[in-house]
A and B are shown apart, each in its own frame.
Chain A
């Protein structure tokens, strides 16, 4: 070997220490409290910011190198997918409705996350978590961009995706994800991190991305699986930030424990309610199925989350409040949410459809205690009504839960046949909730939630384009008769059949 005296490269730990410890300073022109005005008002006490360390020990040079490699791989796939008319290879056109829900509901949240992690990256006093938040901010921007790039190909051939950002801000069911994130970004920095990095990314995000992306792979959606896994590789880093920041705060001061526990309780429930949309997607929108919502819940929440909360018990943290309600609901929420969307399919920017016998048999095998008893009879009745030309549409506007903003379609924890109603009176007005979890959240911060932008209230107040359903849908920028209404008879169904009846030439998509 050579005997030149090249200096030995620095190890990972040394490089990370130089990045996060050597470059920071105490300000002198202005007091530190004025430079970092947001990291004390929530009551969280931090004594030693240097105790925080990213266990990946990722430095900027490695970050750029790894991210560039991920982008190269992803864009090679996106090019190849669109050049080769990848849309023709998906299992069925119904599958695309899951992608619509994703671009309308999730992609705008990635952009919001980009913005707010940039804010966090400026406003935490410790350099270590600032660097992690900065990387996450860039990751989230990348996620929003790659999702838009990838899904833009589907937008050429399918409906409901043409104005997703506009819809995200206006359409009734998209207020569910939007208000979830608005709630997080209007909280202080530590609540935001507990909400998004810990409760959502660490505890719950596997339920969104893993079955969704595996489902995309199984349904021939090469494009979505590729951006999904490209994003998910960043997600592992975000999850780690979530877990580390929680452990760090719990170790810094005992007084932080009850504050963090309350946030965990709140954000578990907020995230769990949001994911009921994913439950519907898994059980109803994937023509070829991976696992049921209940199975995913058991694997990713009950097993993995259970191990996590055992690990956190030594800090005095217990599993989130109302977790037992989630366990009781796991064999019904996906069915209840599908039923809500079937009711309002004339007002949604994706399709619903008759569940065929084979699909119903799969559902009863996955949900032996509930499906045949409560849901199959309802779906069969709807099928019969549709056959007689009386497809069921609910023409009233639903009552919404003030906290999660989902129509009040969930049932009592111990009785799947009775709708669960809760309410609270605040300053003379009565507010309604779908569950004890949502009511608890409101009761602790009523001043925040009385300001909720509830789509149904806004329609009745005349703030949504007019007094009739067509007026409101026009205000949503929804293409009537294409974006909405049942899959049966939709332009998408016609196109799909035409493509597969004729040789799959590119012109066939015109």
Chain B
């Protein structure tokens, strides 16, 4: 069965760094482009790492800032200071 978690982000400058970090940190994550948005699907679990996004943005990045770029998601969420995780049980 396909049990993908999914996250959709806006095509903005900040979000491009988040998309790049997700694709680098989650082998198996696949991005699909739509007008003005990017949808990423990944089997079972997907993580957005603070350090990884910060490195690409060239500044500190708080996982809560994800909310400024987020369009929609699918999966159970767990967020703390260092990462944002999306997973099915």
A residues neighboring B (CB under 8 Å): 11-13, 55-58, 62, 66, 69-70, 73, 205-206, 209-210, 213-215, 217-218, 225, 229, 232-233, 235-237, 239-240, 243, 247, 290, 303-304, 306-308, 310-311, 314
Contact = CB atoms under 8 A, between A and B. Distances in A.
Contacts of A307: 2-5, 74-75, 88
B79 interface: yes
B55 interface: no
Given A11-B80, A240-B77, A303-B2, A233 B69 contact: yes
B8 A57 contact: no
B59 to A, nearest CB: 15
A11 B36 contact: no
Contacts of A229: 10, 36-37, 71
Contacts of A290: 34-35
Given A233-B70, A308-B74, 16 more contacts: A11-B81, A12-B80, A13-B80, A57-B80, A58-B64, A206-B72, A213-B37, A214-B35, A215-B35, A217-B35, A217-B36, A229-B10, A236-B70, A236-B72, A306-B2, A311-B76
A221 to B, nearest CB: 11
Nearest to A10: B81
Contact of B3 (A55, A58, A239, A310): A310
B71 to A, nearest CB: 5
A66 B64 contact: yes
B6 interface: yes
Contacts of A13: 80
B69 A304 contact: no
B4 A236 contact: no
Given A225-B36, A307-B2, A239 B80 contact: no
Interface residues of B, number: 31
Interface string B60-74: 000011011111111
B35 A69 contact: no
Contacts of B88: 307, 310-311
Nearest to B86: A55
Interface of B: 1-6, 8, 10, 34-37, 64-65, 67-81, 88-89
A237 B77 CA distance: 10
Contacts of B4: 303-304, 307
A139 to B, nearest CB: 11
Given A217-B35, A304-B6, A307-B2, A56 B64 contact: yes
A55 B68 contact: no
Query: Which among A73, A214, A235, A290 has the greatest number of chain B C-beta atoms within 10 A?
Result: A214
14 contacts: A12-B64, A12-B81, A13-B80, A55-B79, A57-B80, A66-B67, A69-B68, A209-B72, A213-B36, A225-B36, A233-B67, A236-B73, A303-B4, A307-B3
Nearest to B3: A307
Contacts of B69: 233
Contacts of A73: 68
A233 B37 CA distance: 12
Contacts of A12: 64, 79-81
Contacts of A303: 2, 4
Given A229-B10, A303-B2, A236 B71 contact: yes
A504 to B, nearest CB: 23
A215 B37 CA distance: 11
Contact of B89 (A70, A205, A217, A311): A311
